[in-house]
Amino acid sequence: MQTPQFQGIHLFDRLCWAKENLDGVQSDYRVVYEDSVDECAKILVPDPNWMATALQGGILPPVWVYHELAKDEARSDFKKHTRGYLLHETEPMPAMTEEEAIEYLIMKDCPQSVWRNWNEGNKPKMVICRKEQLPSTREWRNAWKITEELTVTDLAA
Amino acid sequence: MALGKIKADTLEHSTAGSLDTKFVVKGSAKHWSHTNSAGTSVEDSFNNASLTDTGTGQQTHNLTSSMSNAVHSPQCSVGQNYNQQWISNIATGSYRTNNHDGSNYQDSEQHPVTHGDLA
C-alpha cells in the first residue's frame, strides 16, 4: 500500500491512517540496557503498530526531531513545546528495515547516555537480543543485570 | 483512504442540540496501550512507540506523537486486583505506570491511557 504524502500532516493524523491501514508487526528484538548502576537492567520492547509504521515508511519523523524536542524540554524554563511543528513539517523517514527501526527506536527511547557510549567501560551498557534470549521467568527481575562476562569484543564477533 | 477534509466547528444533532468540535479534539484520548503482565510485549495500542520494562510492576510507555507539555493526564488500570497503582516520571513523550500490592511491586497487565494536548 502506498503511503499518502504526509509531510505537513499532523503526526497524530498519520498514526490514525496507519492504525486503519497497516497490520501490526511483532518484533522479536529486545533492547536490554542499564542507565544506572543502582537500578536493574531495563528492557525496551518495540510496539507492533509503531513497527508497522517504521517498515511502511513516509510516516515517522526523523529521530533528530525528538532530540530537538528533548533539548527544549530539558530547559529549566520549559512550559510547553513551541516547536511541535518539527514532528509534522519535517520530511518523514523512508521505509526502514526491522534492524534500522530498532536503531531508530534506541535513539528515540533509550537515554542518550546509554546509546552514545554503549561500548565504553568494563562491559556494554546495552545489548540487542532476541526475545527468547531473555530469562524465561520473572524471578528476581529487579536484580537483572547485563552479564559481566559479556564483553564488547563478544558483541563485535 | 483518501485524505479529504471536512472542516466543521460544530456538530449539530436534530433534537439533542449541538457540540463544538473542539470538545472532540481536545477531549479524545491521545495515547493508549494494553501490555502483557510481564511487560514483555504490547498487545495493542495507539500512539505508542515502545514499552520499557523498567522492573517488576513498573512499565514506561513511550509515545510517538508527543504531548504539548508534561502536565497531561495519564491513568492506568491493571489486570489483577492490587491495591496501589500510580503514575510517575511524566514527560511530554513518556510516562511510567507502577503497580504495588502494599508490600512489593507486582507484575500485572497494564492499560495506560492519557488525555491532554498534543505538541
Distance CA B116, CA B67 (A): 7
- Alpha helix ranges (H) inside B3-119: 21-27
A155, pLDDT greater than 90: no
Q: CA–CA separation, A64 vs A87, rounded Å? A: 10
Asked whether the beta carbons of residue B69 and residue A47 sit closer than 8 angstroms, the reply is no
Residue bearing the bigger pLDDT, B5 or A48: A48
CB contact (8 A) between residue B70 and residue A60: no
Neighbours of B8 (CB within 10 A): 9
What single DSSP character describes residue B89?
-
How far apart are alpha carbons A73 and A80 in whole angstroms? 8
CB-based contact B54 A87, cutoff 8 Å: no
For residue A73, what pLDDT is reported?
Answer: 97
Contact criterion met (CB < 8 Å) for B3 and A9: yes
A82 pLDDT higher than 90: yes
CA distances from B69 to B9, B92, B118 (A): 25, 5, 8
Residue to substitute from A2, A9, A12, A129, interface B, most B β-carbons within 10 A: A12
Q: What is the ipTM of this complex?
A: 0.94
Instruction: Give bridge partners of residue A130 from the DSSP assignment.
Output: A29
Question: At residue A143, does pLDDT exceed 90?
Answer: yes
pLDDT value of residue B1: 52
CA distance A136 to chain B (A): 11
The grid coordinates listed for A4 are 499518502
Contacts with B40 from chain A: Cβ below 8 Å: 30, 43, 45, 131, 134
Residue (of A25, A70, A71) closest to A45 by Cα position: A25
Residue A90: per-residue pLDDT: 98
At residue B2 the predicted structure's pLDDT band, cuts being 50, 70 and 90, is low
Of the candidates B53, B65, B93, the beta carbon closest to that of A15 is on: B65
Q: Which residue has the cell 470538545?
A: B23
* Whole-number pLDDT of residue B35: 94
Taking CA–CA distances from A73, the nearest residue in chain B reads: B92
**A15-45 b/e with 16+ CB inside 10 Å = b?**
bebbbeebebbebebbbbbbeeeeebbbbbb
Closest-CA residue of A relative to B28 is A12
Instruction: Please state the rounded mean pLDDT for residues B10-25.
Output: 84
DSSP per residue, A79-123: -S-S-THHHHHSPPP----HHHHHHHHHHHHS-HHHHTTTT-SSS
Average pLDDT over residues A109-137: 92
**Mean of pLDDT values over A106-134:** 92
Interface residues of chain A, partner chain B, Cβ below 8 Å: 4, 9-12, 15, 17, 19-21, 24, 26, 30, 39-40, 42-50, 53, 60, 66, 69-70, 73, 78-81, 84, 87, 105, 108-109, 131, 134, 138, 141-142
Nearest CA in chain B to A23: B44
The pLDDT value recorded for residue A122 is: 82
Q: Which three cell numbers stand for residue A53?
A: 509504521
Name the 3-class secondary structure at B41: coil
Instruction: Specify which residues B26 forms β-bridges with.
Output: none
**pTM summary value:** 0.92
In angstroms, the CA A16 to CA B94 distance is 19
